[in-house]
Structure 1
Amino acid sequence: MRSDLVLRPAAGSDASGMAEVWLRSFTAALPTVRRAHTDDEVRSWFAHVVVPHSECWVAEESGELLGLLVLDGPELDQLYLDPPHRGRGLGDQLVDLAKRRRPDGLELWTFQVNEPARRFYERHGFTAVEHTDGHRNEEREPDVRYVWRP
């Protein structure tokens, strides 16, 4: 990472950029998963639900939004990187930030087909504790719950 990388709390004005990173990342990482919402619904969700009601962080470099982290209570709710910026250690920094913000532990859900994410979280000490058939998520995609405890 270059020295001008900044991890900072998200502002309302970041909602649009966060939604765009989410959309690009979801499409690149999960091409076989049918999204439950349109692009515009995702943009509205970030603007009216995610940013105002969750603890949101962005990774920014030279004014460009590269990644996002959303914490909701003990849940690591969202961690997405703009695809061209994967493999640079940015995800590691965002997970480390999440652990500092939630020192008592974290939990998260990811889709079972998302093998790169599963390996990433396991490498960071998360343990799979539950597998489901996806009946509780909007995409109806089999998922797995991970937990990290210090």
Structure 2
Amino acid sequence: MTTGPVRTAEPVLRRAHDADAAALADVWLRSFAAALPAVRRAHSDDAVRAWFAAVAVPRCETWAAVADDVVIGLMVLDGDELEQLYLDPDRRGHGLGDRFVDLAKQLRPDGLSLRTFQVNAGARRFYERHGFVAVEHGDGSRNEEREPDVRYVWRPAEGTPGSP
């Protein structure tokens, strides 16, 4: 008798392909619902799927975490902004987010910034553990959800590659 899905492959992080857009959007939708049930979503499921297909994958640097040919996580970089980092809810707490942040730091050795919602205590702890520092608290007027947010910045330590 099996009690859940059998995971055989270590997730691979790779650049997303156009064919991944729907699966990426589905991960985003599941993750947002699980992590932020009290936050009003600004866009319908179909609009989220359209954004991944028309913007995130073709216009941004979008990465997919894939295990057993299934997309289980995503990261979107736009310039030095870590725009999106979402994992399938059952994949949290297993090091996949750490791998994405490490990859983002390798790809942007001069530094990164991001925004997360103030109510997302888990994400805030995660980013702070990875050396991100809160530099601005917003009232929600700058995001579509109208939810108070926090802007975080990561800069490499002095003497590390990419530091001044």
TM, length-normalised to structure 2: 0.89
> 1:104 is paired with a residue of what secondary structure?
coil
Shift of 1:3: 5.3
Look up the match of 1:132. 138
State the percentage of identical aligned residues.
68
How many residue pairs get matched? Answer: 150
Rounded to whole Å, the distance in 2 between the matches of 1:95 and 1:34 is 26
What does 1:30-109 align with in structure 2 at a 5 Å threshold?
Answer: 30-109=36-115
Q: Distance in 1 between matches of 2:99 and 2:8?
A: 13
User: 1:64: Cα distance to partner?
Assistant: 1.2
Aligned equivalents of 1:128, 1:145: Cα separation in 2? 6
Q: What is the one-letter code of the residue matched to 1:87?
A: G
Q: CA RMSD in A?
A: 1.1
Partner of 1:148 in structure 2? 154
* Structure 1 position 4, deviation (Å): 3.3
**Which of the pair has more CA radius of gyration?**
2
The 8 Å contact of residues 65 and 72 in structure 2, kept in 1 or not, is answered as: yes
Q: Could you tell me which of 110, 124, 127 is aligned with 1:118?
A: 124
Deviations for 1:79-132, whole angstroms, at most 9, x for unmatched residues?
000001111100000000000000000000000000000000000000000001
- Where do 5+ consecutive residues of structure 1 fail to align? none
Gaps of 5+ in 2: 1-6, 157-164
User: Partners in 2 of 1:28 and 1:58 — Cα distance?
Assistant: 19
TM-score w.r.t. structure 1 length?
Answer: 0.98
